[in-house]
Structure 1
Amino acid sequence: MVLVNFAHPLTEEQLHQLEALTGRKVERVIAIDAQIDPQEPLAQQVVRMVDQVGFTAEEWQTLPLLIVLPSLNYSAGVLLAELHGRMGYFPSIVRLRPVAGVIPPRFEVAEVINLQAVRDAARARRSRI
């Protein structure tokens, strides 16, 4: 699978954790700088970030992708909308968590969240309301 990382670099240990959780090999990591200029419109900056990935329209729709979201909540929200538009579905994302009791701080992979499954489950709940 291809990991598109819009956050801090991942360690080899974190990549191994991802492979163990997903049962798939991380074939490639694409690191994208997600820093934004707060004085400029955000949506345009996110489009430029996603364009830097370099995928064709077909690749966005067919490659096995895993996304590490940027930490800034506004960027993450706009990024998900942009990715959904290009992919046709919500991507799976990586959630990291701090390792307890270690100095200096370290992070481990907490889970991989299938956002499309979350969306589909929410859609089913909508019909019951």
Structure 2
Amino acid sequence: MRIINFSHPLTAENLGQIEALTGVKVEEVKDVPSQIDPHQPLAPQIEALLDGLGLTASEWQTAPLIINLPALNYSAACLLAQLHGRTGHFPPVLRLRPVPGSLVPRFEVAEILNLQAIRERARGKR
């Protein structure tokens, strides 16, 4: 499985948590700087980030991917739209949370959100 990380670095502990939750070995983590220029249109910037990953159309559609979304909500929304267009579905995303009582700020994997399943459940509310 590949993780595409648009946020803060993931620790070895985080990767172990992801493997425990999924039952699948993390083969690769692609760290993608997601800083944007707020004075330029957002969509082309996000598109360029994804293009820079060098994945083929086939890889986008078939590779097991988990996404760690950028913290900026507008970037995350635009990224999800781009990813849905490239993969044909919503990808699973990480939800991290602060470790309680940690002297130095640390984060743990709270869950992996299956956005496609969430979308399909929501369709029943139409």
- Give the TM-score normalised by the residue count of structure 2: 0.99
Q: Secondary structure at the match of 1:29?
A: strand
What is the CA–CA distance in structure 2 between the aligned matches of 1:88 and 1:97, rounded to whole Å? 28
What is the CA–CA distance in structure 1 between the aligned matches of 2:83 and 2:48, rounded to whole Å? 12
Tell me which residue corresponds to 1:60.
60
Q: Superposition RMSD on alpha carbons, in Å? A: 0.5
Q: Secondary structure at the match of 1:125?
A: coil
**In the TM superposition, what is the alpha-carbon distance from 1:124 to its structure 2 partner?**
1.3
Residue identity over aligned pairs, in percent, reads: 60
Q: Which has the higher helix share?
A: 1
Output one character per residue of 1:3-59: Cα deviation in whole Å (capped at 9) or x when no partner: 010111100000000000011000011111100000000001000111111100000
Q: After TM superposition, what 4+ stretches of structure 1 lie above 4 angstroms from structure 2?
A: none
Q: Is the 8 A contact 1:91 1:115 kept in 2?
A: yes
- Is 1:117 aligned with 2:117? yes
In structure 2, list runs of 5 or more residues that go unmatched: none
Tell me which residue corresponds to 1:15.
15
Counting only pairs closer than 5 Å after superposition, residues 38-53 of structure 1 correspond to structure 2 as 38-53=38-53
Tell me which residue corresponds to 2:24.
24
**In the TM superposition, what is the alpha-carbon distance from 1:2 to its structure 2 partner?**
0.6
What is the CA–CA distance in structure 2 between the aligned matches of 1:52 and 1:5, rounded to whole Å? 13
- Is 1:94 aligned with 2:108? no
Output one character per residue of 1:81-104: Cα deviation in whole Å (capped at 9) or x when no partner: 000000000000000000011111
Q: Is the 8 A contact 1:61 1:87 kept in 2?
A: yes
- Give the TM-score normalised by the residue count of structure 1: 0.96
What is the CA–CA distance in structure 2 between the aligned matches of 1:73 and 1:89, rounded to whole Å? 20
What is the CA–CA distance in structure 2 between the aligned matches of 1:53 and 1:7, rounded to whole Å? 15
What is the CA–CA distance in structure 2 between the aligned matches of 1:42 and 1:17, rounded to whole Å? 32
